[in-house]
Structure 1
Amino acid sequence: MSKSALSEHVSALTDAGVVGVSNSPADKRARRTALTDVGRESFDAYLRRLEAIVRAARG
């Protein structure tokens, strides 16, 4: 993935409130990304749904 494509994806996720972006204290050129509370809830819901699909597939 190119840097510009990654930047577009991170911007979209930030705009949606799923991730937060901050400056890295260790490296002025770097940025840190982390899930927000909304992002964590969404990811946890995704995992629960995925686990349900796997359980159903196993019978």
Structure 2
Amino acid sequence: MLVWSLILLPVMSLLLFLWCCHYDVTKKALTYQGYLTSKVKMALGNASAENMT
């Protein structure tokens, strides 16, 4: 039983670390995607506004 805890502890901490990093990266990617989407929408809005006039 002690051997299992010795094996599981580093594995679990590594998984937790990776999950935290992945979560952070996902959050950044979503923020960046939202930024790009707003830029594209703004550009499309400007283009359509110029076409209207």
TM-score, structure 2 length as denominator?
Answer: 0.46
Which is helix-richer, 1 or 2?
Answer: 2
